[in-house]
A = this chain, B = another copy of it.
Amino acid sequence: MERSMSSINDRVRLLRNYLLRNGLCAFIFPSTDPHQGEYVPEHWMTRQWISGFDGSAGTAVVTLSDAALWTDSRYFIAAEAQLKGTPFQLMKDGLPETPSIEEWLCEKVKRLKSEKVKNLVVGIDGEVYTPEDIEQMEAAFGKAGIKLRTDLDPAEELWTDRPPIPKNKVEIQPLEFAGETAQSKIERVRQALREKGADSILISQLDEIAWLLNLRGSDVHCNPVFVSYVLLTLDEVTLFIDEEKLDDSVRNYLKEIGVKVKPYKDPSKSPLKGETPKVLPLREGSGGSLISSLKSIKNAAEIEGFRRAMIRDGVAMVKFLRWLKPAVEMGGETELSIDRKLTALRAEQPLYRGLSFDTIAAYGPHGAIVHYEATPETDVPLEPKGLLLLDSGAQYQDGTTDITRTIALGPLTDEERLDYTLVLKGHIRLALTRFPDGISGTQIDALARYAMWQHGINYGHGTGHGVGSYLCVHEGPHQIRHTWKPAPLHAGMTVTNEPGIYRAGKHGVRIENTMLIVEDGETEFGKFLRLEPLTLCPIDLTPVIWDMMTQEEVDYINAYHKKVYDALAPYLNEEERMSLPQPLQKASPCPSKGGENKIVK
């Protein structure tokens, strides 16, 4: 979309006329869509359209007299540049002096009032907010005597070249990969509804719909989902979707499994002829929605699919790593060029369906920018020194992958080696931890941080998130995180293990494997669990300060690299096999130490 200053100024002028015509004094443009997805289809990028700011997180607010955009520290610099010359003032979220949107709006609107603006009405597109969000806003504005109107979408009228809602084809996820029929999933949901005393559930999260119906799509960047809603009652299932997206095979499949099809429209916002006497709230306090909780426990076929996908992904990664260092030494490689190379190697793999997120190939200081994505403007050549942080993943029809490796391209500073070693120790500690079934990820998060905490180091992001089965790479409801995530951990869940250290202007280190939560015995104190690595790719050992590693940690690395070798060797040529790390021969000076972590079976 066109993002020149002039076009932004025109849009804001047009919007203000629109506000006057509709009796509004302000409008709020968030970065959400009706389906609360992580990636938003262009059709719903109204905040970017009105403000020109294209970061993944931000909210634009336009009043009759003012305009401002809120975003977080990740985007301060980019937003500053993109808003230059527009009517939008940058509001730096998270700084003490920054007013909340509600505070700012109330103050501006009060001023408008003194200027004899009659209608103290703020507009939002209700479809892109959750009911909870809307309630909160109504409460906040209500105090200041401001009304909220939720049934308007100015972009519909003013955004002339607005991209349509995607109409890509929907495809069936075969039972061999899904592992459970849609009918069986629907029955389990109904059982849960009965237990909760609810008659129906309205599903707007696209990955929940795709999981429930064993369907996949390609409407959303990196996410094999399709734009739709599902209303599931005790005796009916209705899919609200644009008919164009369904070919005969899918239409027949839906008929077979007894799913009715209706045009795409948020059923909660449209008259449902009494179809929803008692809708179960989309989100329940206790960590995640009903569907996301069911979806988070992978069945045997999904787990097998993950294992196969991880072999293919590991093969691509090993081929890439073998290629990387010599290529960098020859020169001419950049963040973007190696991203293309890695993507090409993954694309060669069977069942490859695309990336699961935009690759983070961050060299040197870029590694310290947690959400860095190389662009032609930021791209830098890779030199045979320092650290490359490479966070990437793919969608395969039988599983989704998410892996981070930090690679020494040559000589390192002592600080780079220390940070790398502490991150590796944290990653291994969490992988070695046995923990009680059903505790929250918040309760084990510190184990990934302990080693770096002792050195006065910490990181601001979470330690782990769920990964979908040929679905979203970030999936709930559970997380391993320092902030409170109540969703309990259970066997069958996938979760990443990705501690990191980031030194602004210097480097970043992150080591991430996707793990499977597995049972690890039952004692008089209950069931216990541990994390088993699904990801199959060597961890670079050249940066490790071995004096800081315990024998137990060395043993873990050896066992993991043996597992990687055994799984990948059959798919690699002799040269590639040779490139895999051999077991380390560090002797054990202190067998006693085993006591600290002995697993009693």
Contacts and interface: CB of A to CB of B under 8 A. Distances in A.
Interface of A: 425, 432-436, 439-440, 442-447, 450-451, 453-458, 482, 484, 486, 503, 521-526, 528, 545-551, 589-593, 595-600
Interface centre among A425, A442, A526, by most B CB within 10 Å? A442
Contacts of A439: 482
A597 B593 CA distance: 14
A283 B600 CA distance: 44
5 contacts: A440-B484, A454-B596, A456-B600, A590-B593, A593-B593
A601 to B, nearest CB: 9
Given A435-B453, A590-B589, A548 B596 contact: yes
A426 to B, nearest CB: 11
B456 A595 contact: no
Q: How many copies of this protein are present in the complex?
A: 2
A432 B453 CA distance: 11
B453 A436 contact: yes
B458 A549 contact: no
A457 B482 CA distance: 23
A271 B450 CA distance: 54
Contacts of A524: 503
A336 B595 CA distance: 37
Contact of A523 (B451, B457, B521): B457
Nearest to A591: B547
Contacts of A458: 436, 525-526
Contacts of A546: 592
Given A482-B439, A482-B443, A548 B595 contact: yes
Contacts of A451: 596
Contacts of A447: 446-447, 450
A139 to B, nearest CB: 16
A460 to B, nearest CB: 9
Nearest to A548: B595
Nearest to A553: B596
Given A433-B450, A484-B486, 19 more contacts: A433-B453, A434-B456, A435-B446, A435-B453, A436-B458, A439-B482, A447-B447, A451-B596, A454-B599, A455-B598, A456-B523, A458-B525, A484-B484, A545-B595, A547-B592, A549-B592, A550-B590, A551-B590, A589-B589
Contacts of A551: 590
Nearest to A521: B456
A578 to B, nearest CB: 30
Interface centre among A454, A522, A598, by most B CB within 10 Å? A454
Contacts of A436: 453, 458
A40 to B, nearest CB: 31
A361 to B, nearest CB: 25
Contacts of A591: 547
Nearest to A597: B454
Given A456-B523, A550-B592, A589-B590, A484 B597 contact: no
Nearest to A439: B482
A442 B595 contact: no
A423 to B, nearest CB: 13
A455 B434 CA distance: 8
A215 to B, nearest CB: 37
A340 to B, nearest CB: 35
B595 A547 contact: yes
Nearest to A547: B592
Nearest to A440: B484
B596 A525 contact: no
A431 to B, nearest CB: 13
Contact of A456 (B454, B455, B528): B528
Contacts of A425: 596
Contact of A453 (B445, B457, B528, B589): B528
A442 B444 CA distance: 10
Contacts of A597: 454
A288 to B, nearest CB: 16
A432 B592 CA distance: 19
The 8 A-B pairs of least Cβ separation, nearest first, read A548-B595, A456-B523, A590-B590, A589-B590, A547-B592, A458-B525, A484-B484, A454-B597
Given A453-B436, A458-B436, A442 B484 contact: yes
A590 B440 CA distance: 34
Nearest to A481: B443
A545 B595 CA distance: 10
A546 to B, nearest CB: 8
A600 B451 CA distance: 12
Given A457-B525, A524-B503, A596 B442 contact: no
A393 to B, nearest CB: 28
A154 to B, nearest CB: 35
A556 to B, nearest CB: 13
A524 B459 CA distance: 11
Nearest to A460: B525
A596 B429 CA distance: 11
A548 B446 contact: no
A381 B498 CA distance: 54
A523 B419 CA distance: 14
Given A450-B433, A484-B484, A589-B589, A596 B550 contact: yes
Interface centre among A445, A458, A486, A525, by most B CB within 10 Å? A525
B593 A456 contact: no
Contacts of A549: 592, 595
Contacts of A589: 589-590, 592
A576 to B, nearest CB: 33
A405 B523 CA distance: 26
A422 to B, nearest CB: 9
